């Protein structure tokens, strides 16, 4: 009798323990699932991509990303990126964003790096004009020209353009990783249409030179042209008086003249002013 009661109590304890264990495991499983953040899948590079490279389905993959921090400009479908051009180098596994791509239909190569409303123009360069080979893609320069004018016989140097971005050096549109200077005979600049017209006119009038500047320095200076007079330290000649100044002070008084009249034996002299 006692053995039966003991067995019944043991079975009841096992049953209660099993029910409690099942309830506790379900509760812990729900808590664990609640702690796992939700994922959002974005299109990323399946291999390192170079600037100017055409995106193909084989070079793209979907990667998980926390849904709590969505990517602005990201893509969730691989087919949405097929045929687009990469503007900047991208490492493997990094989600691709809209700002890293050229506009759809803009073409490949250098044209993909030209923003809307801008123009790319190439000018000849040499070791001196090219600042000893330090004109690399992405650097900022000022453009200077030396010319002769009709009003001033001596040569003058003028800053034509300021804070211009070098788009390409030769056929290279990305700076080298080591940052070493490169010697090229053509430099391509990124300009507004009106600035491109100024540069073409400057190249036809005289020699042009590039001056390197800090890319973070966006201050513009309206400096006057410099001639041989200023180079020698001689003060610039005074400007002529403005148009419309009183002319009476500029002209000397007219000289008087005499008229002599002779009537018989009489002689008369009259002064006229």
- Map out the domains of the chain as residue ranges: 39-111, 115-231
Element (H, E) at 196: helix 193-205
Could you tell me what percent of the chain has a pLDDT over 70?
Answer: 71
**What are the tens digits of pLDDT across the range 99-147?**
888 777 655 567 777 777 888 888 887 655 666 677 888 889 898 888 8
Which residues contact residue 77 at a Cβ distance below 8 angstroms, ignoring those fewer than 6 apart? 43
Instruction: Note the pLDDT tens digit of each residue in 148-202.
Output: 777 767 888 888 899 998 888 877 766 666 667 777 788 889 999 999 999 988 8
Helix, strand, or coil here: 149? coil
39-111: in CATH 3.90.1210.10: yes
User: What confidence category does residue 33 fall into, taking pLDDT thresholds of 50, 70 and 90?
Assistant: low
More confident residue, 33 or 67: 67
Q: Which long-range contacts (CB under 8 A, 24 or more apart) does 220-226 make?
A: 220/162, 220/163, 221/159, 221/162, 223/159, 225/156, 225/157, 225/158, 226/156, 226/157, 226/158
Phi-psi region at 138: left, alpha or beta (left = phi > 0; alpha = psi -120 to 50): left
This prediction has a pTM of 0.51
* Residue linked to tokens 């018989």: 264
Q: Are 166 and 152 in contact (CB under 8 A)?
A: no
């Amino acid at each position: 009798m006692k053995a039966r009661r003991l067995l019944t109590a043991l079975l009841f304890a096992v049953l209660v323990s099993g029910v409690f264990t099942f309830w506790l495991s379900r509760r812990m499983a729900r808590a664990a699932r609640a702690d796992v953040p939700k994922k959002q899948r974005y299109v990323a590079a399946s291999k390192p991509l170079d600037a100017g490279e055409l995106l193909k389905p084989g070079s793209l993959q979907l990667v998980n990303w926390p849904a709590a921090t969505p990517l602005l400009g990201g893509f969730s479908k691989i087919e949405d990126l097929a045929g687009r051009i990469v503007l900047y180098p991208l490492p493997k596994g990094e989600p691709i964003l809209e700002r890293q791509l050229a506009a759809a239909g803009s073409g490949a190569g250098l044209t993909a790096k030209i923003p809307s409303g801008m123009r790319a123009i190439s000018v000849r360069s040499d070791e001196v004009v090219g600042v000893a080979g330090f004109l690399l893609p992405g650097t900022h320069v000022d453009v200077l020209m030396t010319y002769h004018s009709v009003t001033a016989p001596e040569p003058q140097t003028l800053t034509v353009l300021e804070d211009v971005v070098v788009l390409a050096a030769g056929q290279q549109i990305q700076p080298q990783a080591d940052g070493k200077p490169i010697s090229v005979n053509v430099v391509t600049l990124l300009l507004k249409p009106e600035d491109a017209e100024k540069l073409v006119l400057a190249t036809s009038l005289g020699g042009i030179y590039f001056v390197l500047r800090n890319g973070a320095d966006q201050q513009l200076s309206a400096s006057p042209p410099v001639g041989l007079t200023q180079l020698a330290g001689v003060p610039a000649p005074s400007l002529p008086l403005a148009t419309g100044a009183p002319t009476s002070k500029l002209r000397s008084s007219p000289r008087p003249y005499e008229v002599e009249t002779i009537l018989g034996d009489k002689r008369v002299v009259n002064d006229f002013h």
